[in-house]
Amino acid sequence: MSVLTRSHRPVPGVSVAGSTSASTSASTSNSTGKSGRRGRRVAGRIVTMSMRAGDQDRPQRPVWLVPVHLLEKITLFVIVAAMIAGLVLEADPSWGYLAYAVAAVGVVVARSRWLPGLMLVAIAPTVAVGLGGEPITLWTVTSFTAFSVAVRGAPAVLTAAIGAVGNAVAQWWSIGAFTGEAFITPGVAALTAVAAAAVGSAIRGNDRYWEALEQRARDAVTGRELLVRQGVAEERVRIARDLHDSVGHAVAVVSMRLGSAEVQLPAGADAARADLAAARTGIQEVLREMQQILQVLRVEDGQTLTPTPDASGVEQLVDVARSAGLDLAADLGDPSDLHRPLPAQVGSATYRIVQEALTNVQKHGTGSARLRLDIAEDGVRIEVVNPSARTGPPPTWGTGAIGGMGLDRSSGGHGLIGMCERATAAGGRLEVSHDGDVFRVRAHLPVRRGDVG
């Protein structure tokens, strides 16, 4: 079973009374830093899941496919062994040393410059015949050298031609003519070089094919990671936009009440009046900073802001899902609970988590699901369960049609990324599990006393 869990303790409230502008800004920065660290941890876990899923999709080379660098070493070993055996078996190797020396120099040169090296090796069998030796060992060396340079990327046709001509000429000279039965031996020598070059070129092409597949898989994993990180960043921007109105209103109310309290102070309470004035200054500074943040998170040209959704819109999500053909069993509890006053962050997170969970059902499910929503005084509990049409780990992100999932900028969510970010921002916990053929999403969004006013 694959499980993704994220939870944290509620962030304590920040006291304003008696604080200065500097202390207010410090408290705000501290809270923002904690939220940022929590968000980075969530993003890191989602990216890790994405990369693990990508690793499972990477192509696996066949066991029988020997790496090219290992083939080169094996071929070099065979060439050296063949030359040693040829010298040992040579009846009168005194003159044969020159031919083997030419072949050895050619093998070494072919490691860096394949064409002159292969030509030297191809001449060696003819040199051996001219010195009264047997060419068979050296044209075998020529064939293996042709295989080696073809594996490293030399043109197969030219490699085969050089090897075939060298082998055929040497063998023909050793026999005396292309007549009668003697023609078979030069032909076999030539075909040996041609076959070696063809096999080497085929192995090289196959190796390049697998390299291309592996590179495409690496690029896909990298692109998936970038999409996940982009989704996290965009979801944070959406959360900030959703919360701006409600938080700004709450801060403005605090500023007004501080002003009212300052006016109602009795004469002689100069110290308390100074503290309240300092607190109001700090609140006004926070409001200015929020306006600057909103300018950074401003809506792009052509886009419009919509009202922040809350739990009361879940019924509409259920109706939309059913009208789209989803067999959805929804237990929303008491209808009046959907209109229960909730903190803006919790209400928005409730709507978005249900929205994106239902979209995941349409994208990855089998057409049926069960939704349970429980809104109580201590918080909101959400559970969405559906049979899954896929196996393996849960999807790292989804793309769907119920008003806002996927990587479409106009949609409004990023699947599991969005649900994790929403739950974390609301101080809650999200659990996503895939057990067999059942996909389950659970979320708990706590509501503390005094959060709703």
For the stretch 94-141, pLDDT in tens is: 666 888 889 999 999 998 899 999 999 999 998 888 887 778 888 889
Domain-wise residue ranges, the chain: 1-9+308-453, 58-299
Residue 28, Cβ density class (10 Å: 0-12 exposed, 13-18 middle, ≥19 buried): middle
pLDDT reported for residue 27: 41
> HSE-up of 349 (CA within 13 Å, CB side)?
32
- The average pLDDT across 58-87 equals 80
Residues 1-9+308-453, CATH architecture = 2-Layer Sandwich (3.30)
Q: Quick one: how many helices (H) and strands (E) in the chain? A: 11, 6
**DSSP reduced 3-state for 386:** strand
- The average pLDDT across 442-452 equals 79
pLDDT reported for residue 15: 35
56 pLDDT more than 60: no
* Range picked from 69-78, 84-93, 394-403 for highest mean pLDDT: 69-78
What is the pLDDT confidence band of residue 198, given thresholds at 50, 70 and 90? very high
148 pLDDT more than 50: yes
144 pLDDT more than 90: yes
* Range picked from 41-55, 91-105, 228-242 for highest mean pLDDT: 91-105
What is the pLDDT confidence band of residue 196, given thresholds at 50, 70 and 90? very high
* Amino acid in the structure at residue 97: Y
pLDDT reported for residue 31: 42
Residue 443 forms beta bridges with which residues?
382, 430
Cβ atoms of 400 and 364 within 8 Å: the answer is no
Question: What does the DSSP assignment read for 343-373?
Answer: -HHHHHHHHHHHHHHHHHHHHHB-SEEEEEE
pLDDT reported for residue 396: 44
Residue bearing the bigger pLDDT, 233 or 170:
170
Residue bearing the bigger pLDDT, 107 or 24:
107
Residue bearing the bigger pLDDT, 160 or 68:
160
Assigned token pair, 255? 């500023």
pLDDT reported for residue 385: 92
Candidate from 31-35, 68-72, 213-217, 436-440 with smallest mean pLDDT: 31-35
pLDDT tens-digit readout, 260-291: 787 788 887 888 888 888 887 888 777 777 76
- The average pLDDT across 76-81 equals 89
Using CA atoms, how far apart are residues 133 and 67, in angstroms rounded to an integer?
36
Candidate from 2-11, 232-241, 398-407, 423-432 with smallest mean pLDDT: 398-407
Query: Average pLDDT of the chain?
Result: 74
Share of the chain above pLDDT 70, in %: 67
2 pLDDT more than 60: no
Sign of the CA dihedral running 340, 343, 344, 348: negative
pLDDT reported for residue 371: 94
